[in-house]
Structure 1
Amino acid sequence: MDFIRKTCAIVFAASLFAISVASVHAVDFSVNSRLSYLGQQIIPTGTTFNGTTVGGLSSLDYNHGTGRYLAISDDRSNINPARFYELSLDLEKFRRSSAPGQDGVSFNTVTTIQKAGGGAFAANTVDPEGLRFDPARNRIYWSNEGQRSGAGFQNPTVREMNMDGSQVRDFAVPHRYHPSGSAAGLAAGDKGVHNNLGFENLAISKDGNTLYTATENGLTQDSLPASISSGSRSRILSFDIATGQSKAEYIYDVSPVAIAPVPAGLFATNGLTDFIVVGDRQFITMERSFAVGAQTPGTPVTGNTIRLFYADARNATDVSGLESISGQNINAVTKTLLLDLSDLKHDDGTPLALDNIEGIAFGPKINGMETLILVSDNNFNNAQFTQFVALQITAVPEPETNAMLLAGLALVSIIVHRGQSMAAPSNP
């Protein structure tokens, strides 16, 4: 019986260990994790800080060392020089309310982004969109979306800068991303990013060795922009951080526009606006769909539909050797819907009104659980607002972990049963 007790103890401990290991990983994130609404804070358009107009916040990242956030503005040096902010968010002051206030948001510093050789960018020569902080190197990576329009072409770029905004280096973006051909991007032979649909985002791998960016929609030679009837085939592009050279590329299929514009025929778009890494080539991606006059039933009319997906590129085809994927048979990144923010409600049951949310980052842990913080780009439009939304991740054990636990308990039952049979006295 002593052997049985020891065996049962070992099996039971192994089962508990399986659960604890899964819980540790699920605190970061798992595809089965649940996202719940913690609250929001809103900064009115027109707010100023240190002589700059706060707005256009297109990307957000959290510095665990300081407990503060970095947010890049997509001001093209038109209102003020291209810049990023350091700010603090007090999640205790976030409210599930349509009028939450702004007391939980405070701006600490603003830093001008410098061009190579020093100095601020001139007006309309840059379009900052993505930002990630690298704690191991104490550096910031940022993306410039690029431009394809009648006003001129600009190549999309991914760059590294010091904390004071000074330029360190450029990453080697393949030429197939550089716009060429017609301004509309719809003619035969056109190449590169569609206008305003280039490098909107950045993400860093968990080991800190790989930097990812992605086009908001497909390259002109790969697919048309997203519409009501069809999606678009974006590319996720990876870089070796040590060398700055590009590596693998994967196709991410952006969904069609979520809700048709009202009236029909007005402007509508959907795009991959930001993403974060949650595992080996696994991401939480954010798609922002907008259509003039669009409304989810029962929600305010803002035109925005924000959806979070779990995206897995582990079995996706590396298309880095293909100048165009048109006509090619490839495996795209798989994706699973995690949350449609249109489903979120305030404490009084009213729906969350969504602005043009474009940035996502992990925040601090609350009660041992991870948080996700989202931020909106108000386009410096008085009809919009800068919105911070906080979500909490609730860990759910992976199916294989539950299977391990059940198998362990079954083994315990078998051992106990056999032990009881061995110990039972034989019939005379």
Structure 2
Amino acid sequence: MRKRTARIVLATFTAGLAAAACLTAVGPANAREGTTNARDGHTCSPSVSIDGFSDALDGTTFQGAYVGNLSALAVDRDGSLAGLSDESFLFDLDARTLGPESVLRLADESGAEIDSEGLVIDRDGTRLITSEVDPSIRRYSADGRILDRLPVPDALRVAPAGRAQHNGTFEGLTMFPGGHTLLASMEYALSGDSPDINRFQTWRRHKGHFVLGAQYAYRTDAGLGVPEVQATPDGRLLVLERGFTAGVGNTVRLYLADPRRATDTSGVEDLTGQDGGVRLIKKTLLADIVNCPSLGATAEQPQPNPLLDNIEGMAITGYSKGRLKVLLVSDDNQRPTQTTRFYQLRVRI
């Protein structure tokens, strides 16, 4: 376990979506030196402000499991928070303090670890979890039993079985309002597609199972991938784009994207970006996180803003009148040069 002084700069971590209609705010989470009042409005852009950050879990363990490598977040039905490690651990976290309350080890059908990246908690309490190795999406019971495995288009499988690149498949996972449509985002483009066009695959709920649905095309900024997506209450998407340059640091941008008028690309073999009949998902920049105030954060490696790290997970924890509370988390890759850091944002959509 790496030892590092826990640093917390935050005002609120929400208890979750309250009837999907109003914000449920809770008090300070063990606030310490450098505490910042959320009402000060730390502006990242006209649409986004940051309430604070927390390094409280950085370098910690719980019941023998390393509390890091966090790749996804989700709000459970009781308002608690789930954090998914890409090392096959699923943590239940207190939404207020972020403290781990339980941990579940995940495995595939043979009992082997999975490269767990995306997480959705379904309305019946089952956990939908992606692995980017195959890629795959499995349904787990709350106690970790595999209940089902969703179909995956052949083209989205890792080469040579398909056209996806290793370590570049299902990173993001989200459920649209109503619980009828699931969406997974590919982190990077398929071979044959333009390198800046990623495929987003959907599944429809049908007679208790998920069947393949429409597929959409999303254009990333040059050199960036998509580590996470989250459906907004109005049926759009929050999309994280992320990249890393050695000696410079991370780039992390938050976009609002609208797939509702995009073309179904499941029958389009190569997406070149010059396809006149293909309407891409429309996106609008909400914020480049480099422009957020640093709030006294420190970085263990060069960063254009010391607040930045390898941000990979995202959950919408509250909504009211076009305003979202959004929680982000960074994946430290269990490296001393990176940090497990939570970020609390307020986002106007």
**Are 2:37 and 1:71 equivalent residues in the alignment?**
no
CA distance in 2, matches of 1:349, 1:45: 13
CA distance in 1, matches of 2:180, 2:282: 23
SS of structure 1 residue aligned to 2:340: strand
CA distance in 2, matches of 1:133, 1:339: 27
Alpha-carbon displacement from aligned partner over 1:315-347 (angstroms, at most 9, x marks no partner):
211111123324643111111100111111145
SS of structure 1 residue aligned to 2:280: coil
Q: Is the 8 A contact 1:45 1:382 kept in 2?
A: no
Q: Is the 8 A contact 2:322 2:348 kept in 1?
A: no
Match of 1:400 in 2: none
Quote the offset at 1:371 in angstroms: 1.1
Which protein shows a greater Rg? 1
Match of 1:42 in 2: 55
Quote the offset at 1:393 in angstroms: 3.3
SS of structure 2 residue aligned to 1:176: helix
CA distance in 2, matches of 1:325, 1:244: 26
Q: Is the 8 A contact 2:159 2:165 kept in 1?
A: no
- Of the candidates 143, 147, 162, which is equivalent to residue 130 of structure 2? 143
CA distance in 2, matches of 1:233, 1:214: 11
CA distance in 2, matches of 1:365, 1:319: 31
Match of 2:41 in 1: none
Match of 1:266 in 2: none
**Are 2:289 and 1:341 equivalent residues in the alignment?**
yes
TM-score between the two structures when normalised by the length of structure 2: 0.79
CA distance in 2, matches of 1:85, 1:214: 22
- Of the candidates 329, 332, 336, which is equivalent to residue 378 of structure 1? 332
CA distance in 2, matches of 1:368, 1:239: 26
Q: Is the 8 A contact 1:191 1:221 kept in 2?
A: no
- Of the candidates 152, 155, 178, which is equivalent to residue 176 of structure 1? 155
TM-score between the two structures when normalised by the length of structure 1: 0.65
Q: Is the 8 A contact 1:36 1:391 kept in 2?
A: yes
Match of 1:238 in 2: 202
User: Mean alpha-carbon deviation: is it higher for 215-224 or for 305-314?
Assistant: 215-224
Compared CA separation, residues 374 and 349, structure 1 to 2 (3 A): closer
Match of 2:39 in 1: none
CA distance in 1, matches of 2:117, 2:83: 10
Which residue identity lines up with residue 246 of structure 1 in the other structure? L
Q: Is the 8 A contact 1:112 1:120 kept in 2?
A: no
- Of the candidates 115, 119, 136, which is equivalent to residue 157 of structure 1? 136
Quote the offset at 1:223 in angstroms: 3.0
CA distance in 1, matches of 2:46, 2:177: 18
Quote the offset at 1:129 in angstroms: 0.4
Q: By percentage of residues, which structure has more strand?
A: 2
Over the aligned positions, Cα root-mean-square deviation in angstroms equals 2.8
Match of 2:26 in 1: none
CA distance in 1, matches of 2:211, 2:73: 24
Match of 2:108 in 1: 115
Match of 1:186 in 2: none
Quote the offset at 1:313 in angstroms: 1.3
Alpha-carbon displacement from aligned partner over 1:374-401 (angstroms, at most 9, x marks no partner):
0111001111110000012357xxxxxx
- Of the candidates 163, 173, 197, which is equivalent to residue 202 of structure 1? 173
Alpha-carbon displacement from aligned partner over 1:243-273 (angstroms, at most 9, x marks no partner):
321110000011113xxxxxxxxxxxx2111
Match of 1:87 in 2: 93
Structure 2: runs of 5 or more not aligned: 1-19, 24-44, 299-304
Compared CA separation, residues 348 and 359, structure 1 to 2 (3 A): closer
Q: Is the 8 A contact 1:143 1:200 kept in 2?
A: yes
Q: Is the 8 A contact 2:59 2:340 kept in 1?
A: no
CA distance in 1, matches of 2:46, 2:121: 25
SS of structure 2 residue aligned to 1:293: coil
CA distance in 2, matches of 1:212, 1:285: 12
Q: By percentage of residues, which structure has more helix?
A: 1
Task: State how many pairs are aligned.
Answer: 300
Alpha-carbon displacement from aligned partner over 1:75-127 (angstroms, at most 9, x marks no partner):
1xxxxxx221010132xxxxxxxxxxxxx3301100011323xx7425xxx21
Alpha-carbon displacement from aligned partner over 1:141-193 (angstroms, at most 9, x marks no partner):
111112xxxxxxxx201111111111011111111112234xxxxxxxx9421
Compared CA separation, residues 336 and 110, structure 1 to 2 (3 A): same
State the percentage of identical aligned residues.
29
